[in-house]
């Protein structure tokens, strides 16, 4: 009996030592009295591969506290070995604002990062959002349909191609793929998703049939309609005003509905996600313009209008239509004069060369057109 | 055997994660009277050191406090002991200014805060055990007027706050503060204030709501009444 227990203990020690990362030296302190921000410092060891996040559980004494996603920032996603700092903003946690937390503690746990995040867009505003995470083992179980590993030669990857088999993934749900320290929409934002968030289709679209338009990207939207404008109260003018968006903007409504601080990608995030580890003109590892035939909708194959999202080959991380279909707004200013915002990707209207991973241009933030769409990101930092 | 089970339990429980020691966390100042109030003689001040800072200077300035502390090199905590200064048992309002400086001594960041030191927080204070005594509401010297609670809804759109004290002779003194919550120090003992009925009014420019009080000061003591 004793020998068995000793063996078990040895196994546990070994498992503890080599199998997973370990967090230690966790300290908490508030930047008082200058600020309400709370620094949570830690040291992480044992990361040897894969993508790891830090799960934060908080308590006041023994009472658990629910920390909203948007209240945490800093080193909590895609973490690496060494010291890290997570910052908690208590003012975002409305229900704890009425009191002092006299015995505030946190527990930090390294956890394997999920591959996909799925948000149900059909629930009523005011009811708790329905959020689901998918891990590699979930996809490997076969319950979610086809999964491709290494669809791009030379790039270690995993693409959930079965996501396209259910129309609801393009209309009633928002499916995002985890990339580095952010999630990004698997598809371009669709008109069906807009209907779920805003209550109605946008009046202006090439498509008039509800079934058709639901799975097509939303277009004819300006940057200002998506996020807000400097003239709003409060002003919306990234980066000067940070991640704030106008509450009645498309992203504002999506945030209200989901409880998650979605935004447009930065220029850098967009290209990082588009390339998926490739350095070539297109994200399938090709420099040849003919690659667009399998990757996306452009002037020669789109028949002069947008096409249903997710019908062409995804990149190595399972992102669809990063080449072609609609141009996509990004957060950044395009020019030093700050008159244009960045738009990436080509479109159904343009020749294949405009859809290259590196292609970038600018457009007036209040401008719109039938080639202009977007996809959302959820930042973990 | 028990020891072995205990060790196994610790191993299982401690796998991967770690917990912090409990600390006090102030949440929103508007509903939190402790947010900007010194409640002990050991006041821990914490901050994040900017990456481009090489030194910093902390100044503490109040009616009874005038202190400067220099930090050469990375420092993120400092304990302030209000009772180290004379008369710290009296009410005071202290402005804290922490200025970070770069390699060329140029300012690279500033943090500002205001703390109220209330009598008794930093040392012994006289306690009157009987509410019937006439001394109970007597204020003789300085008063910290705090307004850090219950103004959230009416004052949330305000750009700041304004405390106006109208003297018995009709003259008025107006204190304009940048925050909708905070503290003001009123040195009622000063001879220039005189005696008689005072009117105090607090309002919030850009917002709504307010607060009023009257105070009658008699020679030998001050009596406060709320209206």
In this prediction, residues B76-97 reach a mean pLDDT of 80
- For residue A104, the distance in angstroms to the closest alpha carbon of chain B comes to 5
Q: Among residues A196, A188, A135, which one has the least CA distance to residue A306?
A: A188
Note whether A233 and A241 are within 8 A (CB).
no
Residue A247, pLDDT above cutoff 70:
yes
- What's the pLDDT tens digit per position in A291-320? 999 999 999 999 999 999 999 999 999 999
- For residue B186, the distance in angstroms to the closest alpha carbon of chain A comes to 22
Cα dist from A331 to A17, A58, A185, A227, B180, whole Å? 43, 32, 15, 9, 33
What is the chain A residue with the closest CA to B28? A97
Q: How many CA atoms lie within 13 A of A260 on its CB side?
A: 25
| Cβ contacts from A onto B, under 8 A | 135
Q: Does A4 touch chain B (CB under 8 A)?
A: no
Task: Please report which confidence band the pLDDT of residue A15 belongs to, taking 50, 70 and 90 as the band edges.
Answer: very low
Residue A142, pLDDT above cutoff 60:
yes
Q: How many Å separate Cα A57 from the centre of its chain?
A: 22
* CB within 8 Å: B7 and A38: no
* Strand-strand pairing, A327-333 and B196-203: unpaired
Which of A155-164, A261-270, B23-32, B167-176 is the most confident on average? A261-270
Q: How many Å separate Cα B131 from the centre of its chain?
A: 27
Q: Does B45 touch chain A (CB under 8 A)?
A: yes
- pLDDT given for residue B123 in this prediction: 60
Q: Among residues A202, A376, A226, A233, which one has the least CA distance to residue A306?
A: A202
Q: Among residues B43, B44, B74, B41, which one has the least CA distance to residue B56?
A: B74
Task: Please report which confidence band the pLDDT of residue A9 belongs to, taking 50, 70 and 90 as the band edges.
Answer: low
* CB within 8 Å: A32 and B26: yes
- For residue B47, the distance in angstroms to the closest alpha carbon of chain A comes to 5
Dist CA A335 CA A342 (whole Å)? 8
- What's the pLDDT tens digit per position in B136-181? 455 556 777 776 545 555 666 677 788 898 988 888 888 887 666 6
* CB within 8 Å: B18 and A23: yes
Q: Return the residue in B5, B8, B25 with the most chain A beta carbons within 10 A, the one to mutate for interface testing.
A: B25
Both tokens of A81, joined, read: 């070995």
Whole-prediction pTM: 0.80
Dist CA B181 CA B177 (whole Å)? 9
- What's the pLDDT tens digit per position in A157-169? 899 999 999 999 9
B112: helix, coil or strand? strand
What is the chain B residue with the closest CA to A55? B17
ipTM above 0.85, yes or no: no
Residues of B in contact with A89 (CB under 8 A): none
- For residue B199, the distance in angstroms to the closest alpha carbon of chain A comes to 31
Residues of B in contact with A27 (CB under 8 A): 20-21
Residue B9, pLDDT above cutoff 50:
no
Q: Which helix (H) or strand (E) holds B200?
A: strand B196-203
* CB within 8 Å: A107 and B111: no
- pLDDT given for residue B195 in this prediction: 82
* CB within 8 Å: A13 and B11: yes
Dist CA A109 CA B18 (whole Å)? 7
Among A residues 13-72, those touching chain B with beta carbons less than 8 Å apart: 13, 15-16, 20-40, 42, 55, 61
Residues of B in contact with A104 (CB under 8 A): 22-25
- For residue B197, which phi and psi values (nearest 5 degrees)? -95, 130
Residue A212, pLDDT above cutoff 70:
yes
Among the ranges given (A48-62, A128-142, A308-322, B14-28), the one the predictor scored with the smallest mean pLDDT: B14-28
Q: What is the mean pLDDT of chain B?
A: 76
């Amino acid at each position: 009996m004793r020998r068995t227990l000793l063996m078990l203990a040895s196994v546990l020690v070994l498992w503890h030592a080599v199998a997973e990362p370990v967090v230690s030296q966790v300290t908490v302190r508030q930047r008082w009295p200058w600020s309400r921000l709370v620094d949570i410092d830690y040291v992480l060891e044992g990361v040897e591969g894969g993508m790891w996040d830090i799960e934060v559980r908080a308590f006041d004494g023994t009472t658990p506290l629910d920390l909203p996603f948007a209240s945490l920032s800093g080193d909590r996603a895609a973490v690496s070995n060494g010291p890290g700092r997570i910052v908690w903003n208590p003012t975002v946690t409305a229900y704890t604002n009425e009191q002092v937390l006299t015995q505030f503690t946190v527990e930090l746990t390294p956890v394997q990062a999920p591959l996909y995040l799925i948000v149900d867009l059909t629930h009523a505003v005011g009811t708790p959002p329905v959020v689901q995470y998918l891990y590699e083992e979930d996809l490997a179980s076969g319950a979610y349909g086809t999964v491709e590993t290494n669809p791009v030669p030379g790039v270690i990857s995993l693409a959930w191609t079965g996501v396209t088999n259910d129309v609801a993934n393009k209309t009633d749900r928002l499916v995002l793929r985890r990339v580095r320290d952010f999630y990004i929409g698997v598809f371009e934002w669709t008109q069906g998703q807009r209907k779920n968030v805003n209550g109605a289709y946008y009046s202006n679209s090439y498509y008039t049939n509800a079934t058709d338009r639901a799975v097509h990207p939303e277009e004819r939207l300006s940057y200002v309609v998506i996020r807000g404008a400097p003239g709003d109260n409060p002003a919306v003018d990234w980066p000067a005003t940070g991640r704030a968006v106008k509450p009645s903007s498309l992203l504002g409504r999506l945030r209200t509905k989901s409880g998650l601080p979605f935004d447009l990608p930065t220029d850098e995030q967009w290209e990082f996600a588009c390339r998926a580890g490739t350095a070539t003109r297109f994200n399938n590892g090709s420099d040849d313009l003919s690659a667009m035939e399998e990757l996306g909708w452009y002037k020669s194959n789109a028949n002069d209008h947008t096409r249903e999202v997710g019908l062409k080959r995804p990149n190595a991380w399972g992102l669809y239509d990063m080449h072609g279909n609609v141009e996509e707004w990004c957060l950044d200013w395009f020019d030093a004069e700050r008159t244009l915002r960045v738009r990436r990707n080509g479109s159904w209207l343009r020749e294949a060369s405009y859809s290259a991973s590196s292609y970038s241009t600018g457009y007036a933030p209040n401008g719109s057109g039938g080639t202009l769409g977007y996809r959302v990101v959820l930042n973990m930092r | 055997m028990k020891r072995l089970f205990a060790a196994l339990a610790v191993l299982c429980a401690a796998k991967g994660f770690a917990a912090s020691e409990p600390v006090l966390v102030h949440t929103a100042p508007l509903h939190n009277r402790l947010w900007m109030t010194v409640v002990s003689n050991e006041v821990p001040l914490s901050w994040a050191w900017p990456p481009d800072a090489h030194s910093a200077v902390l100044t503490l300035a109040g009616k009874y406090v005038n202190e400067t502390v220099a930090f050469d090199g990375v420092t993120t905590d400092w304990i302030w002991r209000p009772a180290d200064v004379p008369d710290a048992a009296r009410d005071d309002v202290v402005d804290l200014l922490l200025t970070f400086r770069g390699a060329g001594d140029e300012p690279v960041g500033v943090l500002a805060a205001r703390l109220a030191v209330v009598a008794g927080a930093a040392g012994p204070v006289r306690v009157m055990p009987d509410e019937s005594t006439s001394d109970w509401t007597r204020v003789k010297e300085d008063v910290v007027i705090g307004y850090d609670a219950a103004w959230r809804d009416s004052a949330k759109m305000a750009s700041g706050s304004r405390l106006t004290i109208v003297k018995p002779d009709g003259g008025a003194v107006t204190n304009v503060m940048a925050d909708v919550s905070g503290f003001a120090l009123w040195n009622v003992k000063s001879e220039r204030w005189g005696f008689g009925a005072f009117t105090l009014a607090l309002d919030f420019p850009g917002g709504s709501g307010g607060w009023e009080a009257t105070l009658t000061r008699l020679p030998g003591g001050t009596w406060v009444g709320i209206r």
